[in-house]
A = this chain, B = another copy of it.
Amino acid sequence: MAAPLRAPITDLREGTCTVREDTAHYLTRVLRLAVGATFVAFDPATAREADAAIASIEGGVTLHVSTLRPARVVAPRPLTFVQGLAKGDKCDAVVRDATELGATCVIVAECARSVVQLQGARRTSRLERWTRIAHEAARQCGRADPPRIELLPWAEAVSTIDEAARRFCLHVHEALPLGPLLLEAVQTEGAPIAFAAGPEGGLTAEEVALAVGRGWQCVSLGSLVLRTETAAAAVLGAVRVLES
């Protein structure tokens, strides 16, 4: 069965409504919907959705929206990725990938080896930027529930995760393989899972010890060294494939 087209509609309400200009462009130019075409309209802010049809296109796009229901495409389990604050646009890439791959929370963690220092206004603007990227990625992949984005010191980041979650700290010098542990963790439907990874320079021994003290398990992805961004996509991709 082909999955129905999904499009985000802000302030989604039952009945007839005219959509904003950017949404109109998305519906008619990107999705190429004509009058009469049907799709699933979802509201990223409320995680509700409805069947919708294009009513008219002349002078703005108008929709017929049927009864709202809780959105169907939401992440299947609480899934957190803690990413050590990295240089350049690496964290942007991690937020985008994590959103597409079903993360419900991305925490950017300030680590001892984080080269970037975010203070004051830069802190706020960076957090806003990541939140915007998450919303945009959720829209593009058809998710009704963009992940929550936080920026915390490493010690807080690893302490803030639900104790019921299986928590895996990716560490290059650790030999316990992730595969069998993750397979076991995904068996329980809806059970929370969390991953943590350091910045480019890796985690310090103290940071690893702190996570372990908080109940995180150190795991390895094998002998090849992965870039920061690749590690996030690999482990979240594994969860997604195993859940499919």
A223 within 8 A of partner (CB): yes
A116 within 8 A of partner (CB): no
Among the stretches A61-69, A79-87, A159-167, A227-235, the one at the interface with B is A227-235
Q: 8 Å CB contacts to B: which residues of A161-182? A: 172-173, 175, 177-179, 182
Interface extent on A, as a size class?
35 or more
Kindly list chain B residues whose C-beta atoms are within 8 Å of the C-beta of A179: 241-244
A121 within 8 A of partner (CB): no
Number of copies: 2
A233 and chain B: residue at smallest CB distance: B233
Chain A 55-91, CB within 8 Å of chain B: the 1/0 string? 0000000000000000011000000000000000000
A179 and chain B: residue at smallest CB distance: B244
Which of A1, A73, A237, A242 has the most C-beta atoms of chain B within 10 angstroms of its own C-beta? Answer: A237
Considering the chains assembled together, what is the distance between the CA atoms of A3 and B171 in angstroms? 11
B223 and A240: CB pair below 8 A? no
Q: 8 Å CB contacts to B: which residues of A141-169? A: 141-143
A234 and B230: CB pair below 8 A? no
Kindly list chain B residues whose C-beta atoms are within 8 Å of the C-beta of A73: 223-224
Q: Min CB distance, A87 to chain B, in Å?
A: 14
A143 and chain B: residue at smallest CB distance: B224
Apart from A220-B244, A221-B244, A235-B237, list 14 A-B contacts with CB within 8 A: A2-B173, A73-B224, A97-B230, A101-B230, A102-B222, A141-B226, A141-B227, A177-B244, A222-B243, A230-B233, A234-B238, A237-B237, A238-B238, A238-B242
A76 and chain B: residue at smallest CB distance: B222
Considering the chains assembled together, what is the distance between the CA atoms of A230 and B98 in angstroms? 9
A225 within 8 A of partner (CB): yes
